Amino acid sequence: MIKKITSILHSPLQYDYICTFVYNYTKNKDNTESRTNGTFYIGNPKTSPHEACVTISVFFPDKDKLVNSSIASLILVKHFESCSEHRPLERGDGTMDMLNTAMSFVIQVCPFINEFKFNDASTTKCDNGSTITLPYYNMTERQMTWYEEKFKARLKPHLESEYKKTMLHIMTTSLPSFVVFIQNHINAVTVPKVIINELQSVYVEGDTVKTFFDKLYTKYGKNMGCILIQPWIDVFMRNVGLHKYVANADWYIPLSVVERYPFKRNITNMYKVNTYNNTRKRTVWNK
């Protein structure tokens, strides 16, 4: 059987998020529930009634197998101003607040969770509207991904060590001639001549990959830098081997970095809404 419970989560930054928890369960002889798995949908991007801004799935421990912990899977994180209910959600701090609120609530509802697992397939928009792979963008600027910086995300130990060594090796590698760089990383894609010229003006001033990117952002700023690297950065990251640590790798956010919000149920704001196999209730949770 399936049950759906919809709540409103109030965050410390005064954002309100709709949270719908859908889970599968079986009825026991004593009329209690045994939950098997479920999904939390947090935030409504308003682009579709079936979409969410944050999606987290959980599997409930199997008591018969004496399993008392489980990993939650962070399936999706999207930013839209409409993810929060009563005021626009800001990019950056707002996204962090939404994700932290979501994880904090999941931990409270499912105390058996011991970490959050995800694949980092995140993207963002440059000022010209083009889409860039966010982990690659952040790697060129800070040598770490957004989730590493904001939520201390880590790979499994053996991959984490390999990833750090690869990052250090790539960023400290001496630059070849600009002609060779073009042949290796840019010729495979269509890059406007004006971008190649701008890149060359900075490239000749650098001596390593890191200094090249540093000088690029120093001269043009982060927003223009995004536009200059967007056409070719995916090819570059694939060529140097950093791509295998991003979308196809399992990343983990430890519970220790999740700021816990002590949500409390506000009974006066509870009211029934539509039914979905069972009566579902809309509940307001306050900090």
Same domain membership, residue 27 and residue 147:
no
Task: Tell me the pTM.
Answer: 0.84
From the CB of residue 237, how many other CB atoms can be counted at a distance below 10 Å? 21
pLDDT of residue 61: 80
Termini Cα distance of the chain? 31
10-residue averages of pLDDT along the chain (287 residues): 89 91 87 86 76 91 65 91 92 93 93 93 93 96 96 95 96 95 84 92 94 96 96 94 91 93 50 33 44
Q: Which two tokens stand for residue 184?
A: 């290796």
Same domain membership, residue 31 and residue 19:
yes
Range of the domain at 171: 121-249
Q: How many domains does the chain contain in total?
A: 2
Same domain membership, residue 132 and residue 100:
no
Q: Which two tokens stand for residue 39?
A: 């999904």
Same domain membership, residue 132 and residue 238:
yes
Distance CA 88, CA 90 (A): 6
pLDDT of residue 261: 82
pLDDT of residue 98: 95
From residue 146, alpha-carbon distances to 84, 99, 118, 120, 149 in Å are: 21, 13, 13, 9, 5
Same domain membership, residue 243 and residue 130:
yes
pLDDT of residue 86: 87
Same domain membership, residue 131 and residue 40:
no
Same domain membership, residue 244 and residue 126:
yes
Same domain membership, residue 220 and residue 174:
yes
For 135-164, letters b (16+ CB in 10 Å) and e give bbbbbbbebbbbbbebbebbbeeeeeeebe
Same domain membership, residue 229 and residue 272:
no
Same domain membership, residue 191 and residue 99:
no
Same domain membership, residue 35 and residue 60:
yes
Same domain membership, residue 114 and residue 8:
yes
